A and B are shown apart, each in its own frame.
Chain A
Amino acid sequence: MSKKRSRLGPPWLFVAPALLVYAAIVIYPSVAGVVYAFTDWTGIGDWSFVGLRNFDTLLHDDQSLGALKNTLLLTVAIVVVQNGIGLLLALGVHARIKSRMVLRAVFFAPVVVSPVMIAFLWKYVYNPAPDAGLNGLLGAVGLGSLRQDWLGDPSLALWSVAAMVVWQNAGYSMVIFLAGLEGIGKDVREAATIDGAGPVARFRYVTWPLLAPATTINVMLSTIGGLKLFDQVFAATGGGPGYATETLSTVLYKQAFVFGRYGYSTAVALVLALFVAAVSLVQIRYLRAREDNA
């Protein structure tokens, strides 16, 4: 069997160009970057090796540890809510409603706008004045008591940022779930209907298990996106108020380009990368196992 495969397998020339570009643009610079994690480089000028000092600093740095906690909270919120909403939207626009094609475009539209611009825009939406933006909208529909200081309240700011990200990316999740739904044959669901299963039971026992591959991709992509989230946070709050929305990516950025501690920032980047890799690996294992059981 392996003999047959190797004859039918394409020659390595197919992968060579990609490997070359990938090695030059991603692998080499990243490895070269890792070296700086063990130095005191400021980004310009000379540097010297400092051993593991940067990692030691990281372990005792309240700001970085706080950022780690924020990053995790933000990621969990984004993964759960974005995919939850994405699934509901997908179920909605998969149904036989007349506006489904228009709505698909509407829900996907935010995905194509630059994340930094989204943040500028949402600062108008999050205006804390009672008659402006989202607060004004809440007031207009009689929900005035829900008005908030969206980005200014340290206990709320992180969730406001999460909501903004969810708004932007729910359409992305929707498209993937929609793809999963289109992959489920109509006959399967019709068979279930004939068996007398109600919509809830049909979803629970037919649709949901068959959506497992879509769920895997969605959860994985939104986890990685959440852990690495930078543009929206930085443009919306810069990590504030205080340190309430500081994430690993904003700490990394500030250390490198605001404080001029490039070596230390690389150590943070390395930890972030290992962290993301570990989390995604565990997720893939678990979710793939779930797919196989389905």
Chain B
Amino acid sequence: MNRYRPRTFVLELLMVAAGVLFLFPVYALVTLSLKDPAQTAKSPLALPKPPTLDNYTQAWSSASLGGALLSSTLITVVSLVLLIVIGSCAAYWVARTGTRLGYGLYILFLLGIVLPFQLGMIPLYNLFSRLDLIGGYQSIILFYTGIQLPFTVFLYTGFIRALPQEYAAAALVDGASHLQAYTRIVFPLLRPITGTVLILNAVFIWNDFFTPLLYLAGSDKETVPVRIFAFVGQYVSDYGLVFAGLVLGAIPILVVFLVLQRYVIKGFASGLKG
């Protein structure tokens, strides 16, 4: 079954066809971003002729995407670090404590996946407001860390449960502290699932539009989606510009995925046994 046979060729053709079908909306996205409004009106999904990069230059300058990319990167990166550090530690405890409380906490964290975020949105905003954290990076980073913790703990716990316990146990017997055992032995073993956690949380945080609007609007810390959405009006929407901004904003996250792709899959693979 490892050889490339005629049947494999037929499968290859089928899969490529599926790929082309999948790319149709992506093609629409790119074509629309390369047209001026008159061209879009005349034939929205035909090939642009002539293609224009005006939308890109305009999106870059009038949405000040440079600064927004910096804000987005900062928020995403710091939230991810926090999520990975405290999420993996918590999962380690949950998976290894061997007490009823461990299971109880696991269920408590899982509850966070099912709660609609609208339920606590206003009280949380008021809390941040009382603490005078609105308009700064702290509030939004804390928000993402909290809101994505359940999913992160869920992924890490499944993975850790499938790991053999012996290495860490041996280190402990040799007199290492729990922290040493964790940082030197356990965390390096978590690499694949960390890749998964990283990409899935990054996608969510990078694309989230509403929270940064709520927490950061009217500050100089707006993120990429907020800047792009400023062009979606009730009356006049500049979709060429919006889609160009979208393409620019999606590139960093796609690059991260391409780099981490195999990790993501491996991370899931090893975590499924949990």
- What is A's interface to B at a CB cutoff of 8 Å? 2, 5-6, 8-12, 14-15, 17-19, 21-22, 24-30, 32-34, 36, 43, 89, 92-93, 95-100, 102-118, 120-122, 124-125, 127, 132-134, 136-137, 167, 175-176, 178-180, 182-183, 189-190, 193, 213-214, 217, 224, 228, 249, 252-253, 256, 262, 265-266, 269-270, 272-273, 276-277, 280
Using A99-B15, A110-B22 as known contacts, say yes or no to A272 and B116 having CB atoms under 8 A apart: yes
Q: Quick check: A26 and B112 within 8 Å, CB to CB?
A: yes
Q: Quick check: A136 and B98 within 8 Å, CB to CB?
A: no
Closest chain-A Cβ to B249's Cβ sits at a distance in Å of: 8
Which secondary structure characterizes the binding site on chain B?
helix
> Contacts of B169 on A, CB cut-off 8 Å?
8
B50 lies within 8 A of chain A by Cβ: no
Using A5-B98, A10-B93, A29-B120 as known contacts, say yes or no to A97 and B209 having CB atoms under 8 A apart: no
> Contacts of B28 on A, CB cut-off 8 Å?
121, 124-125, 133
Q: Quick check: A277 and B145 within 8 Å, CB to CB?
A: no
Contact of A112 among B92, B96, B225, B257 (CB under 8 A): B257
Q: Quick check: A273 and B98 within 8 Å, CB to CB?
A: no
Contact of A269 among B89, B118, B124, B265 (CB under 8 A): B118
Q: Quick check: A26 and B150 within 8 Å, CB to CB?
A: yes
Within 8 A of A (CB), among B240-274: 242-243, 246, 249-250, 253-254, 257-258, 261, 264-274
List 4 additional A-B contacts (Cβ < 8 Å) besides A9-B96, A32-B123, A277-B111: A29-B120, A29-B127, A33-B119, A269-B116
Q: Quick check: A124 and B19 within 8 Å, CB to CB?
A: no
Q: Quick check: A15 and B257 within 8 Å, CB to CB?
A: no
Q: How far is the CA of A129 from the CA of B81 in the complex (A)?
A: 48
Q: Quick check: B25 and A122 within 8 Å, CB to CB?
A: yes
Q: Quick check: B119 and A269 within 8 Å, CB to CB?
A: yes
Contact of A270 among B14, B119, B207 (CB under 8 A): B119
> Contacts of A21 on B, CB cut-off 8 Å?
82, 86, 142, 145-146, 149
Contact of A29 among B16, B90, B121, B207 (CB under 8 A): B121
Q: Quick check: A25 and B203 within 8 Å, CB to CB?
A: no
Using A124-B28, A253-B118, A273-B114 as known contacts, say yes or no to A92 and B149 having CB atoms under 8 A apart: no
Q: Closest residue to B14 on the A side, CB-wise? A: A92
Q: How far is the CA of A217 from the CA of B267 in the complex (A)?
A: 13
B23 lies within 8 A of chain A by Cβ: yes
Closest chain-A Cβ to B214's Cβ sits at a distance in Å of: 11
Q: Quick check: A137 and B272 within 8 Å, CB to CB?
A: no
Which secondary structure characterizes the binding site on chain A?
helix
B143 lies within 8 A of chain A by Cβ: yes
Q: How far is the CA of A167 from the CA of B236 in the complex (A)?
A: 28
> Contacts of B93 on A, CB cut-off 8 Å?
9-10, 12, 14-15
Closest chain-B Cβ to A174's Cβ sits at a distance in Å of: 10
B153 lies within 8 A of chain A by Cβ: yes
Closest chain-A Cβ to B23's Cβ sits at a distance in Å of: 6
Q: How far is the CA of A179 from the CA of B192 in the complex (A)?
A: 11
Using A8-B96, A12-B93, A273-B119 as known contacts, say yes or no to A125 and B25 having CB atoms under 8 A apart: yes
Instruction: Please list 21 pairs of residues, one from A and one from B, whose beta carbons are closer than 8 Å in the complex, sorted by A's number.
Output: A10-B92, A14-B90, A15-B93, A25-B142, A26-B149, A26-B150, A30-B115, A89-B15, A92-B11, A99-B12, A107-B22, A108-B261, A113-B207, A120-B239, A132-B44, A167-B22, A175-B265, A213-B273, A214-B268, A253-B118, A269-B118
Q: How far is the CA of A132 from the CA of B265 in the complex (A)?
A: 37
Contact of A14 among B15, B108, B178, B264 (CB under 8 A): B178
Q: Quick check: B116 and A93 within 8 Å, CB to CB?
A: no
